Structure 1
Amino acid sequence: MKPIFALLSLVAALLLTGCAKPTQYDYSAFKQSKPRSILVLLPQNTSPEVEASHGFLSQATLPLAEAGYYVFPVAVVEETFKQNGVSSPNDMHAVSIAKLRQIFGADAVLYLTVSQYGTSYQVISSDTRVSASAKLVDLRNGSVLWSGSATASSTEDDSNSNGIFGMLLSALVNQISSTMTDKSHDVAGVTSIRLLSAGTPNGILYGPRSLKYGKDAQ
Structure 2
Amino acid sequence: MKTNIFKTALVSILILSGCASVEPYNYNALQQAAPRSILVLPPMNSSVEVNAPYSYLSTISQPLAEKGYYVFPVSVIDSFLKENGLPTPAEMNGIALDKIDEIIGADAVLYVDIQDWGQKFQILSSVAVVQGQIKLVSVKTGEILWDSVISAQYNPNNNSGGGLVGALVGAVVSQIAGEISDNSPLVARMANTAAFNSPKRGLLNGPYKIEKNQK
Decide: shared fold, TM above 0.5: yes
Residue 29 of structure 2 corresponds to 29
Residue 152 of structure 1 corresponds to 152
Q: How many Å apart are 1:71 and its aligned residue?
A: 0.2
Number of aligned positions between the proteins: 194
RMSD: 1.9
Counterpart of 2:47 in 1: which secondary structure? coil
Report Cα offsets for 1:38-78 as digits up to 9, x if no partner.
00000001000000000000001110000000000001100
Residue 13 of structure 2 corresponds to none
Counterpart of 2:79 in 1: which secondary structure? helix
What is the 5 A alignment of 1:65-214? 65-155=65-155, 158-195=158-195, 197-198=196-197, 200-211=199-210
For the 8 Å contact 1:178–1:184, the answer to whether it is kept is: no
For the 8 Å contact 1:65–1:71, the answer to whether it is kept is: yes
The letter for the 1-side match of 2:199 is T
Closer/same/farther in 2, CA of residues 157 and 207 from structure 1, 3 Å limit: farther
Question: Within 2, Cα distance between the matches of 1:201 and 1:178?
Answer: 34
Q: Greater shift after overlay, 108-117 or 184-193?
A: 184-193
Closer/same/farther in 2, CA of residues 159 and 100 from structure 1, 3 Å limit: same
Q: How many Å apart are 1:211 and its aligned residue?
A: 3.9
Question: Within 2, Cα distance between the matches of 1:173 and 1:153?
Answer: 18
Residue 48 of structure 2 corresponds to 48
Counterpart of 2:175 in 1: which secondary structure? helix
Counterpart of 1:191 in 2: which secondary structure? helix
For the 8 Å contact 1:198–1:206, the answer to whether it is kept is: no
Q: How many Å apart are 1:110 and its aligned residue?
A: 0.2
Question: Within 1, Cα distance between the matches of 2:157 and 2:103?
Answer: 45
Question: Within 2, Cα distance between the matches of 1:152 and 1:126?
Answer: 14
Q: Higher Cα Rg: structure 1 or 2?
A: 1
Question: Within 1, Cα distance between the matches of 2:131 and 2:113?
Answer: 9
For the 8 Å contact 2:119–2:182, the answer to whether it is kept is: no
Question: Within 1, Cα distance between the matches of 2:198 and 2:192?
Answer: 14
Question: Within 1, Cα distance between the matches of 2:106 and 2:94?
Answer: 17
Counterpart of 2:150 in 1: which secondary structure? strand
The letter for the 2-side match of 1:130 is V
For the 8 Å contact 1:131–1:149, the answer to whether it is kept is: yes
Counterpart of 2:57 in 1: which secondary structure? helix
Report Cα offsets for 1:87-123 as digits up to 9, x if no partner.
2111111111001111110000000011111111112
Counterpart of 1:118 in 2: which secondary structure? strand
For the 8 Å contact 2:126–2:156, the answer to whether it is kept is: no
Closer/same/farther in 2, CA of residues 95 and 20 from structure 1, 3 Å limit: closer
Counterpart of 1:86 in 2: which secondary structure? coil
The letter for the 1-side match of 2:47 is S
Q: How many Å apart are 1:157 and its aligned residue?
A: 9.1
Structure 2 gap segments, 5+ residues each: 1-17
TM-score, normalisation: structure 1: 0.84
TM-score, normalisation: structure 2: 0.85
Closer/same/farther in 2, CA of residues 157 and 145 from structure 1, 3 Å limit: farther
